[in-house]
Structure 1
Amino acid sequence: MPTESATTVPRSATEPAVVAARDIVAVLSRLRRRLREVRDLSGLSPSQTAVLNRIDQDGPITSAGLAQAERVRPQSMAATVGVLLERGLVQRTPDPADGRRQLLSLSQHGRAWLDDRHRARDEWLVATLDDGLSAEELATVIEAVRLLERVAQS
């Protein structure tokens, strides 16, 4: 019996579901790339930006914890963290539970950097939606987001 590869769809899939799935993946990829372009004009790599976002999301964390969370080798994470430390975006503090370990957290500069990037992203997206879509189209986008959230939660 043949197995399904990553590029095939279940035989029971309807044509509209197949088209929607392919379109969603393509559009989300383009939108993610565009948002990344808008918010990151600082010269940080996508992996460096991802680490800042991870630290922001998870709070103080070890370099080993970051490597595991981001699914990269500890050596690669050490290089990424080194750049962020050099630029003053993160800081190291001793782990109160284990003084041998160091925790990484956002510095004030890192917090401001992330806030600026998020603000730029949000301003671009709001302006693009306001300028490019009618009220009816915006309502459709809002409903589509609700439906996509249901898909994401399934």
Structure 2
Amino acid sequence: MDDIAPSALRASQEIRTVVGRLRRRLRKVDTGGGLSPSQTAVFTRLAKDGDSSASVLAAAEGIRPQSMATILAALEAQGLIERRPDPEDGRRQLITLSAAGRERAAGDREARREWMARQLHEDFTEAERQTLIEAAALLERLVER
């Protein structure tokens, strides 16, 4: 790593740290959901990635299938998910967000968007907000490489 500029190493660390903290902070935004952290993680994964099987979800979350079954049962009891046969393998079920789950996911996204916009409006100057917009474009370039 001798050929990497010290500023690049520092930027790498700072970006990873602040993005991680921002993600954790956004998860704490009260969306009125009452889901446990593990239920929230699975719910969010389904909202973001779409339909999945219980085994794929368990592997993605790094938990045992039995634990995933408990999480899915809780989400199903709240009417947030549905199960349907996998068209490619009739022995398997696909887990999908229900209409109520999709509505909830949209509401959660809106609550987080509103929280961040309010913080940016109240705590940052116009010049600082413009700097963040410019920084976001640079981060997008990083992601696209």
Structure 2 length-normalised TM = 0.86
Identity of aligned residues (%): 45
- Residue deviations 1:10-54, cap 9 Å, x none? 222322222222221221122111111114442312332221222
1:37-116 to 2 correspondence within 5 Å? 37-116=28-107
Q: Which residue of 2 aligns with 1:153?
A: 144
Give 1:152 deviation, angstroms: 2.1
Q: Give the Cα separation in 1 of the matches to 2:24 and 2:57.
A: 23
- Secondary structure of the equivalent of 1:13? coil
Q: Give the Cα separation in 2 of the matches to 1:33 and 1:57.
A: 17
Contact 2:85–2:92 (CA<8 Å) still a contact in 1?
yes
Structure 1 residues 53-62 or 123-132, which shifts more?
53-62
Note the residue ranges of structure 1 that are not aligned, 5 or more in a row.
Answer: 1-9
Structure 1 length-normalised TM = 0.82
Note the residue ranges of structure 2 that are not aligned, 5 or more in a row.
Answer: none
Give 1:81 deviation, angstroms: 1.0
Q: Give the count of matched residue pairs.
A: 145
The structure number with the bigger radius of gyration is 1
Match of 2:5 among 14, 32, 39: 14
